Amino acid sequence: MSKSQSHKQSSREQFIDFAKKGKILVNQCLNCKNLSLETAYYCDKCFSKSFKHVSYNGKGKVVTYTIQSVAPKGFEDVNSYAWVVFRIDDCGLNISGFLPGVSSPTDLPLGTPVKVVDYHDKHGLVLEKLEV
């Protein structure tokens, strides 16, 4: 078996694959059903380390955000963008992402629906506003 065939995807790699399809992968504790983001290794309620993956549609509502004017390296190629915290619909977990094309707070009232559209090597979890 070749090295590439034997490579088992890490949980982060699986998260990224799902994000590229517009989904958010979370962990559900097999013991107490508590949901955690996929990077958790232990349940923060019962400390079990047994999870199953559950996939949610990457849609949610904006909880808070900032519009970055001074950007870290790797984001200089983007004209203006927001770093957004949003609550995943039907899940109760918050997650963060990169939303390009936002230059003013009037562009993004709190509660605006957003969705995951991609995972980008340089920009991370890419979002766009969901047209209602």
Partner 1 sequence: MREKVCVLGAGSTKYGKLNESVIELALNASKDAIESAGITPRDIKAGYISNVFGVADKQVHMAPVIMSNLGIPNVPGLTIESACGSGSVMFREAFANIAAGFYDCVIALGVEKITHTGTTESTTLFSYCSDYFYEGGNGASFAGLFGSMARAYLATHKASEEDLARIAVKNHENGFFNPKAHIRKKITVDEVLNSPVVASPLKLYDCCPFSDGASAVILCNEEFAKKSGRPYIEIIGSGRGASPASVQSRKDITTIPSTIDAVQQAYKMANISPKDVDFAEVHDCFSIAELIDIEDLGFFPKGEGAKAVRESRTTLKGDIPINPSGGLKSKGHPIGATGIGQVVEVFEQFTNKAGERTVKDANIALTHNFGATGASAAVHIFKKVK
Q: Which residues bind partner 1 (CB under 8 A)?
A: 12, 37, 39, 63-76, 78, 81, 83, 85, 94-98, 105, 110, 123-125
Query: Which distant-in-sequence residues (6+ apart) come within 8 Å of 45 by Cβ?
Result: 29, 32, 34
Q: Tell me the closest approach of the beta carbon of residue 30 to partner 1, in angstroms.
A: 21
| Inter-CA distances, 5 with 2, 13, 15, 17, Å | 5, 15, 19, 17
Q: Tell me the closest approach of the beta carbon of residue 112 to partner 1, in angstroms.
A: 13
Of 114, 106, 112, which Cα lies nearest the Cα of 130? 114
Residues in the chain: 132
Q: Tell me the closest approach of the beta carbon of residue 1 to partner 1, in angstroms.
A: 30
31 or 107: whose CB is closer to partner 1? 107
6 or 104: whose CB is closer to partner 1? 104
- Any alpha helices (H) in the chain, and if so which ranges? 3-6, 11-20
1 or 70: whose CB is closer to partner 1? 70
12 or 52: whose CB is closer to partner 1? 12
Q: Tell me the closest approach of the beta carbon of residue 85 to partner 1, in angstroms.
A: 5
Query: What is the Cα–Cα distance from 85 to 3, expressed in whole angstroms?
Result: 38
